[in-house]
Amino acid sequence: MESFLVHDDRFKAILGPNPTLELLLENKEYAFAHEAGVYIPPDNTLFITSNHIHTTGLILTQWSQTNITLSSKVIAITGANRGIGLGIVESCLVNDAARVYSLDIGDTADEFHGLSQRFPGKLFAIHTDVTQESSIATAVDKIIDEADVLHGMVVNAGRTKHKPGLEFTDEEIEALFSVNVARTAARAFIRLGIKGSIVFTASIASYPPNKRVPSAPYGASKAGIRNMTHTLAMEWAPHNIRVNSVSPGLVNTAMTYWVPQQEGWKQQLKYYGGFPRLADVQELGGAYVYLLSDAASYTTSIDIPVNGVIGIC
């Protein structure tokens, strides 16, 4: 262990430029800086080890991360072979995720393969039925076998159905409520001792109803996701697991191709206000990346609406 005087340049090199540091570097017998949480004992000596700064009788933890990055993180995303999920994949990879796994029952297509070529050795697909917890458990075990770790799970896979509530079948309603599973990821985080992050994809439809594209069961299922986010965040906080959600507005995907084709759609967008267009899938990614990153280490139980059409709901 090596000791440093408070006015030693090596101490400044470790902490970097910091206004509070100027106070510490003054040769005072009892320098104290509340902002940094640093106390310099009378002998003006600090002991530096790998992740902590030790003073006499006091341990000062390392500063929290403030830059938003997924460097070295392994992320799993359900329903990520296309659409919003694939947009989240791209955002994670652009922000330096070590590995991203798509857990999807569908086949991969050209867009997925193009992204895989852009980020060689970082994007993987595992055939998974997200309505079956056993299938998710198998996929998570495979990820851990290959990558030795899992840091984040985006519960994105879902189905959408927009029609009057009286026309829904029992099977359609059950399908809307049965595709969102997080327990398997939480169990893996606990087993591995990981401070994991779970992010649900909810929907702006979970807020006030949209008269243009009504769907009572769909909106109810997504409102249930937001409520479950709050409850699971409370339950799993003792395990250092964060649980949040993102509520996209109207996004340009294969599921919403018909929306701009509605009669009077352009005029309706003018009435709604905001940006008169649907979102690109990549425009959602920032919210997910933040919630998955260590910069959000004190963020749990929140929903982030990503909706540029102000009055859509």
Q: Is 39 a catalytic residue?
A: no
pTM passes above 0.85: no
- Given this model, what pLDDT does residue 70 score? 97
- Residue 99 pLDDT exceeds 60: yes
pLDDT in tens, 126-136: 999 988 889 99
What residues form DSSP beta bridges with 124?
Answer: 101
Average pLDDT over residues 114-138: 94
From the list 74, 69, 60, the residue with the least C-alpha distance to 11 is: 60
- Given this model, what pLDDT does residue 36 score? 41
Q: What are phi and psi of 153, to 5 degrees?
A: -130, 125
Task: Give, in order, the Cα–Cα distances in Å from 135 to each of 103, 132, 157, 175, 184.
Answer: 10, 5, 14, 16, 10
Q: Which amino acid is at 62?
A: Q
Q: Taking the CB of residue 274, how many other CB atoms lie within 10 A of it?
A: 13
Among 97-101, 283-287, 289-293, the minimum mean pLDDT is found in: 283-287
Domain with CATH 3.40.50.720 in the chain: 74-306
- Residue 240 pLDDT exceeds 90: yes
According to CATH, what is the number of the domain 74-306?
3.40.50.720
**pLDDT confidence tier of residue 217, bands split at 50, 70 and 90:** confident
Given phi > 0 = left and psi -120 to 50 = alpha, else beta, which region is 61? beta
Q: What are phi and psi of 228, to 5 degrees?
A: -65, -35
Among 68-72, 151-155, 304-308, the minimum mean pLDDT is found in: 304-308
Q: Which amino acid is at 292?
A: L
- Residue 45 pLDDT exceeds 60: no
Catalytic residue among 101, 218, 288, 290: 218
